Amino acid sequence: MKLGILVISHGSREEAWVKLVDDAITRAAVVPSLSHIPIVSSFLEIVEGRLIQDGVDALEAMGVTELFVLPLFLSSGSTHVDEIGQAFGFPWLTELEGDLGQFRVTANVTYGFPIDDDPEIAELLAANIAELSTAPEKEALLLIGHGSKEPVFHERWQEGLLKLSERLRVLGSYKRAEYAMLLPDQAAVKLAAMQAANPEEAVIVVPLFLSQGYFTKQVIPSRLAGLSYRYNGKAMLPSRAIESWLTRKMQEALLLLNKH
């Protein structure tokens, strides 16, 4: 048995986005327990030559027979997480069919879980927004995630956002915390409703994205144009919290597979 790990993230046309992901994976793998394991970073789309099948091929060329696939996505409500699973032969979450087809893979595949409501990631977000806070007892948070319109996936996004918003509210002692999705387009309506209901509260907008890019720099500000809020656009990378999450998930997989 030879174990290999394939970390899959979305991909971006921005080289800086890709580098942040690659750097996090590289730093996550420096612990002694993972030093002998081949680990490959691959992408769902856009990054030519480094797509998922490229990663599978590279690891199998190294002799990998047990493949742990770790989706570096924020929510199990992401349709991408399900379509990747489909392409590796795992059961569909719904009848929504992805467009990846079936990957060519001979290794035995174990599929991990995305970040979801992780306490360490919540602490990272809390640190990102603390610089925007002056009087948390008079402030509200608005978490904004990508979201999904699709049944089941939408509800999974809701569940994760609800848990994470409450975790952040408690961590920072904020007055309240709400959430909104970009898909469907809820952000401006939710922010306007928060301001109408509690005009005395300043609202801090928290972007739930892995790395800074199109959504944090353009989409969120454009959706909230004309409204009053505090925002620094900080995403989750670079951060030791993401690196720690990656290390933890890869070590857990190693322990599990070594028992079999």
Domain for residue 228, yes or no? Answer: no
98 and 127 co-located in one domain: no
Do 96 and 7 share a structural domain? yes
Q: Do 105 and 11 fall within a single domain? A: yes
The answer to the question of residue 84 being in a domain is yes
Task: Based on the fold, state whether residues 194 and 248 are members of the same structural domain.
Answer: no
> How many domains are there within the chain?
2
The C-alpha atoms of residue 159 and residue 59 are separated, in whole angstroms, by 35
Residue 131: domain span: 119-223
Give, for all 260 residues of the chain, the pLDDT tens digit. Answer: 899 999 999 988 889 899 999 999 999 999 999 989 999 999 999 889 999 999 999 999 999 999 999 999 999 999 999 999 999 999 988 888 888 899 999 999 999 999 988 899 999 999 999 999 999 999 999 999 999 999 999 999 999 999 999 999 999 999 999 999 999 999 999 999 999 999 999 999 999 999 888 899 999 999 999 999 999 999 999 989 999 999 999 999 998 887 76
Q: Is residue 83 part of a domain?
A: yes
Residue 128 maps to a domain = yes
* 81 in the same domain as 123: no
